[in-house]
Amino acid sequence: MNWDDDTTGTEAADRLVGPAADGEDQAVEAALRPKDLGEFIGQEKVREQLDLVLRAARARGATADHVLLSGAPGLGKTTLSMIIAAEMGAPIRITSGPAIQHAGDLAAILSSLQEGEVLFLDEIHRMSRPAEEMLYMAMEDFRVDVIVGKGPGATAIPLELPPFTLVGATTRAGLLPPPLRDRFGFTAHMEFYGPAELERVVHRSAGLLDVEIDPAGAAEIAGRSRGTPRIANRLLRRVRDYAQVKADGLITQEIAAAALAVYEVDARGLDRLDRGVLEALLKLFGGGPVGLSTLAVAVGEERETVEEVAEPFLVREGLLARTPRGRVATPAAWAHLGLTPPRAQGSGNGQQDLFGA
């Protein structure tokens, strides 16, 4: 649940493909953010629906409905929240669930909003319970009860709020209590990006960073980006460094592949941690099943790091399965690491085919 945290773990801090973001990352990210819906690549459905919501609100001269954005880290939730504000010509206030410890913190923010302002609440599933309850009323009635005093003498003073648009972001919509989920007028689920979309992201970012790249170079980076624009942008920057130091600056397929080999991001986008987990599973435990804790100890990582940083991608790629008896490697995992499963499962039955290119 620490997906968007800057502190997922010391190891995570220098990972190219992990969720951690360092200072440089944030500065470059801001520079690379699409500024309006037209510039936003992919997510066709979400874009079309959001466009309608915002256009209709503008036509009515009203404040847009509350919007919930759910999806994995790096898919563009923060970017979309800023686009919503820009499209509505409204200012934006940015905060996050963990930053709101007390209901009072939220009351202070809500009561200082301007009419029509967008309030972006990142990691909304990590807000405290009392703050959450205050938010229900604010979203529905544009009103909060400010509690003055303590104990039996405490009184609730109702406070009117100007209409505002709440944009909530979460990596897991399923974690939101239904009453909160139901108060959003529009919910958008962001999907992972396809290779063609990621290539467009890479080309667009390269243009903004003034980096020369050919189509095969962009495809190579896109293919290792795990369906995630943030990762595509990160890999592009590291490949750019390599191209500048080791070549003439132009990013080709060869340069991209060589650079990402240096950074230990393999052809499928697995990094050192992912490969470490798979290797332990295959070499030490014969492909499993093995318990998460045991597996974590074997790779010298925290349980949470293995479970929340490495596994989601490995599962999504069909390399690892979480079963009631423990973690199990799939045939594709053996093929990807170039290893043979201990018990021959009928030789020559086309293991290569499972893995494809």
Question: Could you tell me which stretch among 30-38, 103-111, 235-243, 319-327 binds ligand ADP (CB under 6 A)?
Answer: 30-38
76 binds, among Mg ion, ligand ADP, none (CB under 5 to 8 A by kind): ligand ADP
* Residue 28-67 contact track with Mg ion, rule CB under 5 A, x = bound: ----------------------------------------
- CA distances for 153 relative to 133, 146, 150, 157, 159, angstroms: 21, 14, 6, 13, 19
Q: What angle do CA 264, 268, 271 make, to 5 degrees?
A: 30
Among positions 12, 16, 20, 32, the unique one binding ligand ADP when judged by CB under 6 A: 32
Q: Per-residue x/- mask for ligand ADP, residues 170 to 209, rule CB under 6 A?
A: -------------------------------x--------
Element (H, E) at 220: helix 215-223
Q: Which of residues 257-286 bind ligand ADP (CB under 6 A)?
A: none
Active site residues per annotation:
77-78, 122, 171, 230
> Closest CB to ligand ADP among 170 and 330?
170
Please state the closest distance from residue 81 (CB atom) to Mg ion, in A. 8
Residue 213, phi-psi category: left (phi > 0), alpha (psi -120 to 50), beta (remainder): beta
Return contacts of 144-152, CB within 8 angstroms, 24+ apart.
144/106, 144/107, 144/110, 144/111, 146/107, 146/111, 147/103
149-183 burial code (b ≥16 CB/10 A, e <16)? eeeeeeeeeeeebeebbbbbbbbebeebeeebbeb
In this chain, which of 77, 226, 272, 336 binds ligand ADP, going by CB under 6 A?
A: 77
Q: Residue 37: left (phi > 0), alpha (psi -120 to 50), or beta?
A: alpha
- For residue 257, the minimal CB distance to ligand ADP (Å) is 22
CA nearest neighbour of 85 among 126, 128, 114: 114
A 10 A CB-CB count for 44 gives 10
| Closer to ligand ADP by Cβ: residue 122 or 220 | 122
Name, in order, each residue with C-beta under 8 angstroms of 24's C-beta and a sequence gap of 6 or more. none
By CB under 6 A, the count of residues binding ligand ADP is 19
Given ligand ADP, Mg ion, none, residue 97, with its beta carbon under 5 to 8 Å by kind, binds none
In whole angstroms, the minimum distance from the beta carbon of 169 to Mg ion comes to: 6
> Shortest CA distance to 231 belongs to which of 266, 257, 269?
269
When binding is defined by CB under 6 A, the residue of 2, 70, 78, 330 that contacts ligand ADP is: 78
Residue 56 token pair = 């209709």
Residue 5 binds to ligand ADP (criterion: CB under 6 A): no
Q: CA-to-CA distance for 240 and 211, rounded, in angstroms?
A: 7
DSSP H or E run through 51:
helix 44-60
> In the complex, what is the shortest distance from the CB of residue 6 to ligand ADP, in angstroms, rounded to a whole number?
12
Please choose, out of 25-33, 150-158, 180-188, 242-250, the segment that lies near ligand ADP by the rule CB under 6 A.
25-33
Q: From start to end of 37-116, where are the E strands?
A: 67-70, 92-96
Determine if 78 is a binding residue for Mg ion (CB under 5 A).
yes
- Total residues contacting Mg ion (rule CB under 5 A)? 1
Binding mask 209-248 for ligand ADP (x = CB under 6 A): --------------------xx--x---------------
Site residues (CB under 5 A) for Mg ion? 78
Site residues (CB under 6 A) for ligand ADP? 29, 32-34, 40-43, 73-79, 201, 229-230, 233
